[in-house]
Amino acid sequence: MDGKLPYEIPTEMREFAERSVEQARKAFDGFIGAAQKAVDNAHGSAESARANTQEATRKAIAFAESNIAATFDFAQKLVKSKDLAEVMQHQSDFLKSQVATFQDQIKELGSAAQNAAAKAADSVSKATKGN
């Protein structure tokens, strides 16, 4: 014999180690699950932000198109004006119309921004409740 005693791990210590490994595995699985949910929620939030940005961009383009069309109509009226009084009347009408249009466009964009913010807040709220 070489004089060495065989090393044995006490049963209680072995059971404790097995439980510790199992608990660590469960904790890790929970962490991975939470990480996957976070990625999914981030993707959903990013997709929502992209859709909101796309909608706002479409509105801005439509507004620009409308404003440019109104400007061309105004220019055409100016070209056809017979005297300075008619030019001034067209100018006054155009300015009043554009101010009203601009106010409506600002309201619409503000409303769209509020809706987008509400959707984003709702998405964040759902994401945090899901965890």
Pick from 67, 122, 59, 120: nearest CA to 97: 67
The CA distance from 119 to 6, in Å, is 66
The CA distance from 95 to 69, in Å, is 14
pTM over 0.85: no
Higher pLDDT, 7 or 114: 114
Domain assignment of residue 95, given as a range: 11-130
Q: Would 123 be classed as within a structural domain?
A: yes
Cα separations in angstroms, 119 against 30, 36, 114, 116: 28, 22, 9, 5
Q: Would 73 be classed as within a structural domain?
A: yes
Q: Would 5 be classed as within a structural domain?
A: no
Q: Would 59 be classed as within a structural domain?
A: yes
Residue at token pair 């909101």: 52
Q: Would 3 be classed as within a structural domain?
A: no
Q: Would 1 be classed as within a structural domain?
A: no
Higher pLDDT, 115 or 46: 115
State pLDDT tens for residues 74-105.
Answer: 999 988 989 999 999 999 999 999 999 999 99
Helix (H) or strand (E) holding 53: helix 11-80
Query: Considering its fold, how many domains does the chain have in total?
Result: 1
